[in-house]
Amino acid sequence: MKGLPEDYLHYPHRRRGMDHEIYPYRALPAAKPVSWPNGARVALCIAVHMGHFPMDMPLKPFIAPGGMERPYPSYWDYTLRDYGNRIGVYRLMKSLAARSLPATALLSAVLARRYPALMDDLAGAQWEIACAGLDMGRLHHSGVALEEERATVQEAASLLRARFGAAVRGWHSPAHSESSHTLRLVAEAGFSFTTGWANDDMPYVMTTDAGRLICMPLSQDLSDQRMLHQQHLATEDFTNSILTAHETLDREAQETGSGRILVVPVTPWLMGVPHRIRAFNAMLDGIMARGNVWPASMGQIADLWRAQNPG
Amino acid sequence: MLSEPGHYDYMPWRRRPRITWPNGARIAFWVAPNIEHYELDPPPNARRMPWTRPQPDVLGYSWRDYGNRVGLWRMADVMARHGVRGSVSLNVAVCDHYPEIIERCCELDWELFSHGTYNTRYFYGMNEDQQRAVIRENRETIKRASGQELDGWLTPAISNDETTQHLLAEEGIKYTLDMLHDDQPTPIKVRSGHLISIPYSLEINDVPLLAMRNTPPERFAAICKAQFDQLYEEGAESGTVMCMPLHPFLIGQPHRIKALDDVLRHVVRHDKVWLATGREIAAWYTEHHLAEAQSWIAAGTP
């Protein structure tokens, strides 16, 4: 009997550690303990997914969640996402400012060109700006030629740095999409941390041919985009899950003596709508009421982690 | 193509010979953590693509990777706290990639059974020699890594082919989990050798519940407890089995681990529960109940 090609039973990467060279295996209990300012147990990072979704975005090889899921021209999808950058994000800014909480915007770079007024307001709010690629239609995958992908990364970095300068140090690939070159191109463009790999609760170091990157935790599973948009769950299912995650991480920090990180990924067109903003506020108040929280930007957390994890 | 698996006879839920578990337990409760490795760049299979996005599917890969880096460690602690051992549905290459994980499983006295080599290497389309080679290699690797015998089997991604169950029996596997036809162990018909099925579950399983049916954590716990309560009640008549298959990349997340804690607390506070492993359930059933079940079937399930 014919069966599968012989090499289907060959495993060239079967060995100790990972099946790639990007980072070594490290179990969470083996992570070096870290300390946060003032003995805080949990670092709180609000990560705001500020995407721009072009109405003519390509639908292949896959559609970014929140992309044009209906036939062209989808005013439904386009305008609802755009709402986030007009209205929703301002609600989030107000909620966070009222609580003196920082945030990190994972920003489609074209927004710097499209909405300079919004950029001024983000700067005014002192949000950290991280680059989430050019826009949500420009995905990174193996079908993109290397030079084309390099140009995309460079253009995105330039657009944001022209407005915000060298403070733009973080990269998040749109929809967590990457080719096998993306990390190298991101390091080459001078970024120091990335958030694409949803495989840890703590930072770790990635190695590329163009230097190192710190991989910062950013959940996709526990995000408003996944839970509210893709899974159609209720607002409270998301906010309660965040509170439960905080409870777990806070307890682990006490038990292990190592700081933990709670990243709250929120999306202005989802969490910034009127019927959800009070639940968002209540969630933030619930986290802060527990105490021992260090509210920080992703870059601040990366820096402090790096200072305690040299080498 | 076959019109049915052909591995078991019809056995109505009524009139079955009574199953009894050790110490008068009504229910055998077992937890099956699926400790898996999904390759970043696996070869294609004609019947199923390993990833939904073009490779490398960084989102899909890193999500699974979370289980081995973080989730497994967290769920193992919770299980240990409740005195619940795991029966690991193991992608056997994990023995090579992450020996730390195998060490932790052995320290907790968990059983290791095979879930194939990688979850990205399907049995779809393999010929018999190829399937046999995987089973044999898995047996040797588990023995080398843990000293354990290989008794149980769940085909990776339940990608079994038509002949897989026959080969399992011929290679000395004692129990299979590829079939979902029952709440009790049952005899499995194979061309030679012996094989039984013990209940696994795709109802009480975090992949279908959490990732496919979008169940929030509290609801997940409620569903698991409802399953347990009913099987515990029915177990007064004849012993039942409840399997709780879990995936560390899902249940081991900080917002969900509390749900597992909640379910296990509920289970262990009942006194007529046998906290078993797959191997123990299979051995008990084979020794005490298999022959009786076979005679009952041969007599036309009177």
Q: Tell me: the pLDDT tens digits for B184-206?
A: 999 999 999 999 999 999 999 99
Confidence (pLDDT) at A125: 98
Q: Region A166-194: what's the mean pLDDT?
A: 98
CA distance A285 to A268: 19
Residue A96's closest CA among A288, A302, A269? Answer: A288
Instruction: From chain A, pick out residues whose CB is under 8 angstroms from the CB of B217.
Output: 241, 244
Find the CB nearest B117 among A11, A173, A178.
A11
Read off φ and ψ for residue B230, nearest 5 degrees: -70, -45
At A97, is the pLDDT very low, low, confident or very high (cuts 50, 70, 90)? Answer: very high
The torsion region of residue B111 among left (phi > 0), alpha (psi -120 to 50) and beta comes to: beta
**H-only helix segments in chain A:** 75-83, 89-98, 110-114, 116-124, 146-164, 182-188, 224, 235-256, 268-271, 274-289, 298-308
A246 pLDDT higher than 90: yes
At B143, is the pLDDT very low, low, confident or very high (cuts 50, 70, 90)? Answer: very high
B248 pLDDT higher than 90: yes
A1 pLDDT higher than 80: no
Instruction: From chain A, pick out residues whose CB is under 8 angstroms from the CB of B98.
Output: 17, 25, 27
- Radius of gyration for the alpha carbons in chain A, expressed in angstroms and rounded: 20
Quick one: closest CA in B to A62, which residue? B53
Q: Region A242-251: what's the mean pLDDT?
A: 98
Does the beta carbon of A129 lie under 8 angstroms from any beta carbon of chain B?
A: no
User: Are the beta carbons of B300 and B210 closer than 8 angstroms?
Assistant: no
Query: What is the torsion angle, in degrees rounded to the nearest 10, for the CA atoms of residue A50, residue A52, residue A58 and residue A60?
Result: 0
A311 pLDDT higher than 80: no
CA distance B102 to B145: 7
Show the tokens assigned to A184: 């190298």
Interchain pair B127, A244: CB under 8 A: no
Distances (CA, A) of A177 to A53, A138, B88: 15, 10, 32
The distance of B266 to chain A (nearest Cα, Å) reads 19
pLDDT per residue over B158-173, tens digit each?
A: 999 999 999 999 999 9
Confidence (pLDDT) at B293: 98
The torsion region of residue B64 among left (phi > 0), alpha (psi -120 to 50) and beta comes to: alpha
Q: What is the ipTM of this complex?
A: 0.97
User: Are the beta carbons of A168 and A129 closer than 8 angstroms?
Assistant: yes
- Hey, which residues does B35 pair with through a beta bridge? B90
Mean confidence (pLDDT) of chain A: 97
The distance of B126 to chain A (nearest Cα, Å) reads 4
Confidence (pLDDT) at A7: 94
Instruction: From chain A, pick out residues whose CB is under 8 angstroms from the CB of B108.
Output: none
Provide the 8-state DSSP code for B48: B
Q: Which helix (H) or strand (E) holds B33?
A: strand B27-35
Q: Hey, what amino acid is at B227? A: Q
Count of alpha carbons within 13 angstroms of residue B122, beta-carbon side? 16
Find the CB nearest B121 among A8, A62, A249.
A8
B150 pLDDT higher than 90: yes
CA distance B27 to B278: 13
Residue B211's closest CA among B30, B56, B44, B34? Answer: B34
pTM beyond 0.95, yes or no: yes
Confidence (pLDDT) at B77: 98
The distance of A115 to chain B (nearest Cα, Å) reads 29
Residue B274's closest CA among B8, B20, B57? Answer: B20
At B229, is the pLDDT very low, low, confident or very high (cuts 50, 70, 90)? Answer: very high
pLDDT per residue over A182-226, tens digit each?
A: 999 999 999 999 998 999 999 999 999 999 999 999 999 999 999
pLDDT per residue over B73-127, tens digit each?
A: 999 999 999 999 999 999 999 999 999 999 999 999 999 999 999 999 999 999 9
Q: Hey, what amino acid is at A73? A: P
The distance of B258 to chain A (nearest Cα, Å) reads 8
Query: What is the torsion angle, in degrees rounded to the nearest 10, for the CA atoms of residue A215, residue A220, residue A225 and residue A230?
Result: 150
Instruction: From chain B, pick out residues whose CB is under 8 angstroms from the CB of A221.
Output: 63, 250, 253
CA distance A88 to A201: 28
Query: Over pLDDT 90: what percentage of chain B?
Result: 100
Q: Which of residues 180-199 of A touch B (CB under 8 A)?
A: 180, 196-199
User: Are the beta carbons of A214 and A206 closer than 8 angstroms?
Assistant: yes
CA distance B165 to B2: 14
